[in-house]
Chains A and B, each alone.
Chain A
């Protein structure tokens, strides 16, 4: 039905996402879903990790070797960023659901705090691992 409509009469459509200027509010909102989906792709590896540990040292050592490889580190680093972002912004969302921080000023402040903590926790975690 929608196909018929769009082909027969060229009515104006509502503005698409691309024409809006990206703002911290919209970008962070988009990133919440994006990082959530990205983390889902880590789930099979999470399952692999637990299953490998239960299967024995051979399987576990192979998995750890995979994690320590350049591509493994690259993926794990990406998931660390996503994990901390999703965690921090998730807490922000829960506070909103509770009715707090809904004033635009607080939305901006908490948004920048989310980015700050994402960076801090990511650097902190990888610093802890390497040093």
Chain B
């Protein structure tokens, strides 16, 4: 049997609908932010190595280097995990410091859209390079 306060979390339906205060879904976001952080931490070491190797390369050399499957896959994973972490991180900062409700909502929409688009653009171009160079 579900108790009344379990179903509604000590809040009126109106408060829940407004999204103010605890919605009891914060833990999921917290865990996601950490999982993305762990993944991008591991990949960050690859990224450093990749960038340092690429210094001084010509365009053709660089493209061939990025097209190596291990590098393409690592770069795509790095972009996904990094941007996921980034969207949630910026969201947290915006929620902390923007106090005007509608400015905050617009900023959060911008946060999600801008970094989603950036991430998709990166993944698309890495794939384009990887496939055009021939595996």
Q: A residues within 8 Å of B by Cβ? A: 33, 36-37, 40, 43-44, 46-47, 50-51, 53-54, 56-57, 60-61, 83, 87, 90-91, 93-94, 97, 121, 125, 128-129
Closest to B34 in A: A97
For this complex, into which size category does the number of interface residues on chain B fall?
20 to 34
Whether the pair A40, B34 counts as a contact (CB closer than 8 A) is: no
The B contact surface, by secondary structure, is helix
Shortest Cβ distance from residue A76 to the other chain B in the assembled complex, whole angstroms: 10
Shortest Cβ distance from residue B50 to the other chain A in the assembled complex, whole angstroms: 12
Could you tell me the distance between the alpha carbons of A36 and B115 in the complex, rounded to whole angstroms?
Answer: 14
**Chain B residues near A57 (CB, 8 Å)?**
58-60
Whether the pair A54, B128 counts as a contact (CB closer than 8 A) is: yes
Q: Which of A36, A60, A91, A125 contacts B89 (CB 8 A)?
A: A36
**Chain A residues near B60 (CB, 8 Å)?**
57
Whether the pair B121, A47 counts as a contact (CB closer than 8 A) is: yes
